[in-house]
Structure 1
Amino acid sequence: MAYLNVRQRRIEAKIAYVGPATAGKGTNLERLRGTVSDPRIGKIESPGDGASNLVSLTWQPPESGRFRDCDVHVQVVAHHGAFGREAFEALDDADGVVVVVDAHPSAQERNRISFDAVRTALERVDRADVPVLLQINKTDLPEALAAEDIALGLGAEGARHVVAAAAQGRGVVETLDAALNEVLAALRAEAEPDDERAPDTNRPPKSVSPNDSAHPLLAALRQVLRETVREHVDELETRRTARLQASLVRIEQRLAAVEARSVVLSTQLETLHRSSQADELHALHMEVRDAFAEAGARSNALRSRIDEIAEKLRKQKTGWFT
């Protein structure tokens, strides 16, 4: 599925080479890897295929291959051997398909089986409108059939085809260039408003839903929206985390200040408490001293009164005996 890389302003597409065994799929990619002088081919990078049963390369077409002021990067993949699981893997999310068939008469049944399998696989995932290009390879063989007869036998007489001899390097670049043109034409058709498109009376109307995976530009725009929303969410999450961390730091600082203030207040309260106890003891001491002083004064007064009474009684007693 074509993907719009907003940051690098480029369309990223995928073209799959499929077909029967020994038709020349791998030969096409090997020739493309070795092509460095053709101005139509642009830049080719060959990533390692690893343990996968698919071979691949990345192709950046020249300026003529730009789309709407965007560069175009194409991942070109091909499967090994006969049409099987690896072929379905190659077709996954492909924006264009090149079916490589063998022009030798003995290969026509294998060609038909592979071509029918491609159409069935695309229809099964509702992607029958993916551009399919037919490469009729090995036309340099003396016994090679005519390209028109091969296309007719496949039921693809109306399909665009390229005549090639990949082992000799003929038709290899032309095939890839034609496949890319088909992909870009499909993208332009999807980008045109409905009222600007030429009516196609031979094509049945197709209902379009927001989740229709057969529309590369809609899928690309949805991908852009998803990434934009994800970036904004990540940015908001980062900002929120930073604010929370700053708030936690401020709270910890305030708690430390409150704790320090609490220690100071506790010391002051203890001092005040001790001072209050000393004042109370001093007041009690003064009260007790005053009480003792008053008791002493009363005791002295009582003692004087007793002395006076005793003196009077002594005088009276002396008079009794005289």
Structure 2
Amino acid sequence: MPAKGPRRLSGAWYVDLAVVAEGKSCPICEVLGVASYIFYPEIRAYCGARRAKSAVAGDSLGILTPLIFSIVIWCAVFCVLIPLRNLPGLHPTAAWLLAVAAALAMALAIPLGIAFLVALLLRARSKKVGELRGVPVYWLGPYTRPPGFRAFTLPPFKAIFVVGDPPERVLRHELRHIEQGKKITYLRAIPLGLVFIFLGYPAPWVATAVSIGLLVFLFILPYISWTLERDADIHGFENAENYKRTYKAVLKKRPKSRLMRFLRWISTHPPWWVRASERYYDRRVSTLRLFLEDVFSR
């Protein structure tokens, strides 16, 4: 979308942005996102792009650099938290669980490392162009792929980053995520905290307790994420018509397969066809009910 200059939106100034990313998402990012439930979808457009221009000096920002950075950091953490002398004395089950915990730690930590690194890069070169209800808005560049814009927030900063030309209702959606900041931080800290307990004290009973805690948490985490996203949608879009008007360029048909619909729910966001329904914006209808109706109906 060509730059058109500043635009006034109910107390917020922002402009179209310089090219940051275009191309297709990296399969590795997609797998990590589904596996951990907490990967930032907005980062995939940057880290997973075939071609991406860094916000710093125009350097290439591909998926490889932040992945290596995260892996090196977390391998160093593992070396500190897992004394080698403890491994030979572990029961085979505890050793197996230890490997699972390490894998979970990587799956949970790599996205956070990528998000933090990208946040630093974006914040270093972005330009503040206004505020929305006291929250600064930064611009990055135009977005040429449908729907022609992206907007997102990043945990290290209480700010809204925009790419392209998003409508105000999209900014209100992101503003709600900033207001949810503490809840989102706790959601990401709990599983990592459990893993760190396990890594620091790899005893069989600790392994069992942490494994049960992780399983329980990972089962309820998607539901909590759906609830937070739905709350932001209601505050930002207010109704299904506004949502469909905003994303009409990328809306597709609802899958006929129940399995495909179920797999699409394995994400931090409810499926788009649910978000485009009027019942989704009715708070009297629970998110769990929407999930069950969508998966088990024809």
Task: Note whether the superposition's TM-score is higher than 0.5.
Answer: no
Q: What is the TM-score normalised by the length of structure 1?
A: 0.24
